[in-house]
Amino acid sequence: IEMSPQDSASISRLCTVGLRIDLLKYDAWHDPMTGLYDRRSFDRLLEMAVARSVRYQWPFTLVIIDLDGFKELNDEQGHQAGDLVLRNLGDRFRQILRFGDNAARIGGDEFALILPETDPEDVAPLLERAAMTNGDEPSIGFSYGLVICPVEADSVDSAFKLADERLYEAKSARKVRS
């Protein structure tokens, strides 16, 4: 194809605009600190997962995670240490989750996972792998609550509420043991 210099320049500008649109789309769906989905994206993904689960009886496990001692880490070691923990946790989730699993940062130190066809007994070992550190970063634990859809919950609100209640039960139990 023969092109004039003006045609070449126009195509180059169109490609640049296309790449910028892709980047903006990515940024609109992802948390900038962790690279995981953000809360708004997670809410959309959870709605779709619940709808499929109810309609086709496709089970999934919703896991809500809260970092333990994150405020203290930020207070004692600074926000850079907290940011490092968040970034590294995001990296580990991307490494250990399967294709089709979804991870999101839904709050400051809260995360959520949508794990299709995942047995609840498989969640603890998965989270143990996510908690492993390389020794150079601050170590932090986390508590979690989970719910199996559609068996235990068949709506977004009921799934999130039950998982959140179980998270706070786990946090309370962890504080009692400490």
Strand partners, 98: none
Question: In the block, which residue shows the tokens 């499929």?
Answer: 52
3-state SS assignment for residue 135 = coil
Q: Which of 120, 31, 133, 24 is nearest to 85 (CA)?
A: 133
Q: Of 109, 122, 157, 164, which is the active-site residue? A: 109
119 has catalytic annotation: no
Whole-angstrom CA distances from 115 to 13, 63, 103 are 40, 8, 9
* Cis peptide preceding 150, ω within 30 of 0: yes
Q: Which two tokens stand for residue 145?
A: 């609550």
- Catalytic site positions: 109
